[in-house]
Structure 1
Amino acid sequence: MPLSSIHRLVRTLVTRGYVRQLPSRRYVLGPRLIHLGEIASQTLATWARPHLSALVDAVGETANLAMLDGDRVVYAAQVPSRHSMRMFTEVGRRVHLHCTGVGKVLLAGLPDDGVREVLARAGMPSRTPRTLTDPDALLSQLHRVAAQGYALDDGEEEEGVRCVAVPVPGGAPAAAISVSGPEGRMAMDAVPRVVSLLRSAAAALAAELTAGRDRPAPVPPA
């Protein structure tokens, strides 16, 4: 494009707050993009909520939607279990990737070098005695996650809690859904059934998001 056209477009973005100019005269992303990101997250959460509710009905445990957010993963939506003792994570909470089911299944979609870069920036703090804190050990686990198509958090983020997660295929931004509950109710022999239900829900959500590009998005709840 001609430089004059680029300059005019950039100045319009600056005027509207999507881009800002530094004292060095370089341009960086502006604050209005934060609001756009919030709208996108709310829209995705609105589409996901019926699928999460169906998972809670089928499994009986809390269902979550999470999205990759830089070097962390952020919970964008949740439908809680109806049990009095249940897994509860605040929507909007950002957590490390290496010790969560949703985080590991999203890391598994990155090349090894990309994973190491994320871990170098974010660190690998030990959340429980089961948390993996060695990059090589985590990479070995991520290779298995990529091959099998799901990830487990087996008391690595919170003691006594087991989480099963799968990616939402073809998602932009990268997203995952999971089911979490106490180890006593989320037994290992139930994992294959939970994975099957998660995959069906993730595929249905992905299909709905694809179709949604051609129709108005649902209105997020107030």
Structure 2
Amino acid sequence: MSDARHGAAAPASPGGTVQSVDRALDVLEALAERGGEAGLSEIAAGTGLPYGTIHRLLRTLLARGYVRQESDRRYALGGALVRLGGVAERMVATLAQPYLTRMVELSGETANLAVLEGDFVVYVAQVPSPRRLRMFAEVGRRVLPHSTAVGKVLMADRADDEVAALVGRTGMPRRTANTVVDLPGMLEELRRVRERGYAMDLGEEELGVHCLAVGVRDGARTVAAMSISGPAGRIEALDREELAEGMRGIARDFGTALGA
């Protein structure tokens, strides 16, 4: 790949990727993993890059609007990402529809797709249950992750210290009497999620509503969560392990489609 501005080939990493692009994406991901804002030392710790390299990358990202610098000299994700993110979410939502439809057919309940944006879970797609009494999570709705099945699945892909930092920023407000509101309890819950391969919300976000969620993986990372939600009695009547196994198969197919 030639660099038109310098008339030279851009350096490539051993895997055939362009090293400078890899490193710029590492910086953006480090900011995202820290809630969208971080100091230089935090970026260095998250990427393993030298300070001089980070400074050069940040200058370019600042100039293009993908990063901004706050008054306290910390760096934050910039507005230019909003346009890209909005387009990407719409494309992913369209791609997800047939897989969410399969989940509705499997469970008889409403199926949702959610991602983690900064410290919040955002619902990006949904296919409703055909039943008269059905649950809705409005597309575009932002919720805290600790009280939702999709949020637990997304947090379970992170190390305990990252989870602690995330809930330290957001707090863990009690949504219902069933909400887990302490860090040790949440870390134990996430351990169970990793062990069994799915997460449950048993009336923790809204009383009378139960959800089951599984992760969507793109290679080694969980990039989204898919869930079914419905009245507590109907969800409890389903065979949880059998349902989760079927949902994981659908999520694997969707992850393959995303990668393709």
TM-score (norm 2): 0.72
Structure 1, unaligned stretches of length 5 or more?
A: 212-222
Q: Does 1:95 align with 2:135?
A: no
How many residue pairs get aligned? The number is 207
- Percent of aligned positions that are identical: 49
Q: Does 1:207 align with 2:246?
A: no
CA deviation after TM superposition for structure 1 residue 190, in Å: 2.0
Which stretch shows the higher mean deviation, 19-28 or 94-103? Answer: 19-28
Q: Does 1:177 align with 2:237?
A: no
Relative to its length, the structure with more helix (as a share) is: 2
One of 239, 247, 255 as aligned partner of 1:190: 239
For residues 123-160 of structure 1, the C-alpha deviation after alignment (integer angstroms, 9 at most, x for no partner) is 11111111111111111111011111100001101101
CA deviation after TM superposition for structure 1 residue 49, in Å: 0.9
TM-score (norm 1): 0.83
- Name the CA distance, whole Å, in 2 between partners of 1:108 and 1:184: 26
Task: Say if 2:146 and 2:172, in contact at 8 Å, map to a contact too.
Answer: yes
State the Cα RMSD in Å: 2.7
For residues 20-50 of structure 1, the C-alpha deviation after alignment (integer angstroms, 9 at most, x for no partner) is 5778999764422211011111111111111
Task: Say if 1:68 and 1:173, in contact at 8 Å, map to a contact too.
Answer: no
For residues 168-219 of structure 1, the C-alpha deviation after alignment (integer angstroms, 9 at most, x for no partner) is 01266721100000012112552112202210111000111111xxxxxxxx
Corresponding residue SS for 2:122: strand
- Name the CA distance, whole Å, in 2 between partners of 1:113 and 1:26: 21
Structure 2, unaligned stretches of length 5 or more?
A: 1-10, 12-51
- Name the CA distance, whole Å, in 2 between partners of 1:175 and 1:12: 26
List aligned pairs for 1:5-84, cutoff 5 A. Answer: 14=63, 17-18=65-66, 29-84=77-132
Higher relative contact order (CA 8 A, sep 6+): 1
Quickly say closer, same or farther: Cα 1:57–1:143, change in 2 above 3 A: same
Task: Say if 2:209 and 2:231, in contact at 8 Å, map to a contact too.
Answer: yes
